[in-house]
Amino acid sequence: MGFKEIPLSGMRKIIAERMKLSVSTAAQYTENMDVDVTELVRLREGIKEDFEKKAGLKLTYTPFFVMFSSLALKDFPILNSTLEQNVIKMFDEVNIGVAFALKDGLIVPVIKNVEGKSLTDIVTELDIFSKKVNQGNLSLDDVSNGTFTITNIGMYGVDNFTPIVNIPQVAILGVNRIVKKPIVIEEKIVIRDIMTLSLTSDHRVVDGVIAAQFLKKMSFYIQSKETLSEVLKF
């Protein structure tokens, strides 16, 4: 049987070493939760054209999840922490890394101080990162000091997966595709837009109940009219 050898080198080798270190160091487990994102879909569709005209930037779902994660991390700061020599350090700042795919791997630039930024601010930073990723000129500061990571592969049709914690962080959120599903509301079957969120945590720091509560709070913010109205202030 013929084959082609590809040396494990460069970025691929670095990713392999970091992933091995992550799974051998952290006690990782993943919890999945289906979330009704119907109102979020309506919101994005309703503001997308106006937003893109004003900001000149494409509006995807990722910046919304950056904002929702920031809110939930303030409620559950243990997920916004690191473990160093038997000491848990919970960070005051919420610095969210967003995974970008590369030809031979991935890289995670970091949006710093997310809690103080608007939707436009976040979309703008993501656009800048995207251009830097394509040009290969991200700086060390761009990828440093992350406290939590989001990886969105919903655009590839994935329903759920097991993201690996980006150590020294203790949690990573996987965002999956949106699917129309029949659900029961007030004894009636209705069609809603549903997304599964996949949260992997380090059990040394984050108990399963806390991870579940974090996902539940994420679900609350995603469906909250008050939260969604704040997002409109872009």
Percentage with pLDDT > 70 across the chain: 99
- Give the chain's residues under pLDDT 50: none
Q: Which position among 50, 75, 141, 203 bears the catalytic label? A: 203
pLDDT of residue 208: 97
Side chain identity, residue 210: I
* Each residue's pLDDT tens digit, 55-86: 899 999 999 999 999 999 999 999 999 999 99
Is 142 part of the annotated catalytic residue set?
no
State how far the Cα of 145 lies from the Cα of 52, in Å rounded to an integer: 30
* Each residue's pLDDT tens digit, 163-185: 999 999 999 999 999 999 999 99
User: What Cα–Cα distance (Å) separates residue 121 from each residue in 18, 51, 100?
Assistant: 30, 12, 18
Helix, strand, coil percentages in the chain from 3-state DSSP, rounded to 5: 45, 25, 30
What pTM, to 2 d.p., does this model score? 0.94
Domain definitions of the chain by residue range: 27-231
pLDDT of residue 227: 84
Look over the chain and give the mean of its residue pLDDT values, rounded to a whole number: 94
Percentage with pLDDT > 90 across the chain: 80
132, 109 Cβ separation under 8 angstroms:
yes
Q: Which position among 50, 104, 141, 207 bears the catalytic label? A: 207
List the one residue out of 193, 200, 155 whose CA is nearest residue 174: 200
Is 92 part of the annotated catalytic residue set?
no
pLDDT of residue 102: 87
CATH topology of domain 27-231: Chloramphenicol Acetyltransferase (3.30.559)
pLDDT of residue 112: 97
pLDDT of residue 233: 66
